[in-house]
Chains A and B, each alone.
Chain A
Amino acid sequence: MYICNVKELFTPHQLVLSMMVFLAIIFMMILIIIILMILSHARSKRESDLNNRLDNLISELSLCESVDEFDHFLSQHSTTKILKEIASSKKSSLFVLRKISQAYLSLKGVALDHLKSLYRKMDLERVVFRELNSRKWHRRAFAIQVISRFGGYDAIEILRKFINDNNVHVRTEAQIGMVRLNGFDGFADLLDLNESISEWQQLCLIYVSNFHQFNHVWILKKMLKSTNEGIVVLGLKLTMFYSCFELLEDVRMLKSHCSEDVRKNAKSVLMKFQEGELLWN
């Protein structure tokens, strides 16, 4: 019945034509999908090739035994060619930044010094500054992370601008960076934070502080008197971590603090101090 109606509505010529149009559309769609797949395959091959070349380059550079060997390696034709290629593309420069920022966590000593030299010689700071002005928080947070790891011109001043950022990840990276680059002096900049700091931020800050020599009891004393509850808790945790027995009286005063979290942490510190006292006696 339905087929009869179609036959009445369209002539055989129209039906054949519409069939052909339909087949042409299907064919075009398949063609577009194939082209997109080829392009995506080519792009991923290019990325994997770049990834591979960068891994080789970074590992070779990081393993140079001396500055002379490092400079000699950089001046080689094949190396300059790759570096120029990377510098000409925004995406590749970001790729290098990610790689060396990741390597920072695994390498130390001469190898790390060479990575820092590569950062300077490739002028990657320019890329970092561009990322710092991005509207996307994760790009800003990444840029701050790189600055805190590789330092550079005015690094402390730049980080200081972001310690009260609206985005929690951006300000966390900036706060960590302040302590990473400035040691315990970095905590002085955190005394007047607008926002409270989470337990995770506190853990990160204690971890980073561990890379520096502890000799700043006065900063902890100030932290314990801060109007920011999170800073007081962090100060208490640092007091316990570095066993600052000279702050016993300051901690005792916090037993009557208006915040329950502060009181709880003060109690933990006092209990630890008391334990030490008992052991001593």
Chain B
Amino acid sequence: MKILVVEDEPLMLKTISLKLTKEGYDVITAEDGRSAMDKIKSELPQLVITDIMMPYVSGLEIVSYIKNCDSKIPVIVLSAMGQEKTVLEAFNLGADDYMTKPFSPNELVIRVKRLTT
């Protein structure tokens, strides 16, 4: 199963992708929203994990883009912002799950498994 991880912080990007690779997933990464959109088109991932605050294109715009193109791809939003307004906006746009930083990589894997099985 192919998962796209979108995160502008290199250390977190590596940590998440390493954890998912260890769990047996095929991981592709993007460091900003713009390249994430290109990879969604070219790589056709089956799940997207995205941060909210990113350069060029925000995570919420990615959620909206995915849901407008193909609503079948589940999206997990990962963000430092835990405000009700942001969480609700993400869900209204079609996000399937929301995790607030700091997060546990093990918990993330469980949420990924829940959405992919």
Contact = CB atoms under 8 A, between A and B. Distances in A.
Say whether chain A's binding surface is mostly helix, strand, loop, or mixed.
helix
23 contacts: A51-B10, A56-B14, A58-B11, A59-B15, A62-B15, A62-B105, A63-B19, A63-B22, A99-B11, A103-B11, A103-B15, A104-B102, A105-B102, A106-B12, A106-B103, A107-B15, A107-B102, A107-B103, A107-B105, A108-B103, A109-B106, A111-B15, A111-B105
B82 to A, nearest CB: 10
A106 B19 CA distance: 14
B88 interface: no
B117 interface: no
| Interface band, chain A | 20 to 34
Q: Which are the 6 A-B pairs with shortest beta-carbon distances?
A: A109-B104, A59-B15, A108-B102, A59-B14, A106-B101, A55-B14
Nearest to A56: B14
B19 to A, nearest CB: 5
A51 B11 CA distance: 9
Contacts of B19: 63
B80 A102 contact: no
B84 interface: no
A275 B35 CA distance: 49
B77 to A, nearest CB: 14
A105 B12 CA distance: 10
A60 B11 contact: no
Looking at B10, B15, B18, B107, the one whose CB has the most chain A CB atoms below 10 A away is B15
Contact of A107 (B10, B14, B104): B104
Say whether chain B's binding surface is mostly helix, strand, loop, or mixed.
helix
Interface residues of B, number: 17
A62 B19 CA distance: 10
B102 A106 contact: yes
Nearest to A104: B102
B47 to A, nearest CB: 19
Contacts of B102: 104-108, 112
B22 to A, nearest CB: 7
Interface in B2-43: 9-12, 14-15, 18-19, 22
Contacts of A110: 104, 106
Contacts of B104: 107-111
Contacts of A112: 102
Contacts of A99: 11
A99 B18 CA distance: 17
A105 B80 contact: yes
Contact of B15 (A63, A104, A109): A63
Interface string B89-106: 000000000000111111
